[in-house]
Amino acid sequence: MLVAVLSIAIGLQVLYPLVEGEGLRVITLAIVYWGAGAMLLHALLAFGGRYALIYLSFTFFFALIIEHIGVLTSWPFGEYSYSTDLGFRVFSVPLVVPFAWIMMAHPILIASRRIAGNWIFLYGGVGLAAWDLFLDPLMVSSGRWTWVVNGAHVPFQPEIPLSNTFGWLLAGMGLIGSLHLILPRDLRKIGASHAAVDVYLGWTLFSGIIGNLFFFSRPGVAFFAGAVFGIVLAPYFFTRWLGRP
Indicate the average pLDDT of the chain: 96
Q: How far is Cα 54 from Cα 35, in angstroms, rounded to an integer?
A: 18
* pLDDT, tens only, 100-151: 999 999 999 999 999 999 999 999 999 999 999 999 999 999 999 999 999 9
| pLDDT tier, 244 (very low <50, low <70, confident <90, very high otherwise) | low
Q: How far is Cα 175 from Cα 64, in angstroms, rounded to an integer?
A: 12
Phi then psi for 93, rounded to 5 degrees?
A: -115, 125
Per-residue pLDDT averaged across 198-207, rounded? 98
pLDDT at 59: 98
In 10 A of CB 61, how many CB atoms?
12
**Residue spans per domain, the chain:** 2-242
Per-residue pLDDT averaged across 21-50, rounded? 97
Q: Across-strand partners of 147?
A: 80
Q: How far is Cα 116 from Cα 11, in angstroms, rounded to an integer?
A: 31
State the amino acid at position 137 in one-letter form.
P
Per-residue pLDDT averaged across 197-226, rounded? 98
pLDDT at 187: 87
State the amino acid at position 195 in one-letter form.
A
The pTM score is 0.96
pLDDT at 189: 77
pLDDT at 245: 53
Nearest to 125 by CA among 164, 163, 58, 175: 175
In 10 A of CB 245, how many CB atoms?
3
* pLDDT, tens only, 164-173: 999 999 999 9
Percentage of the chain with pLDDT > 70?
99
Phi then psi for 90, rounded to 5 degrees?
A: -110, 115
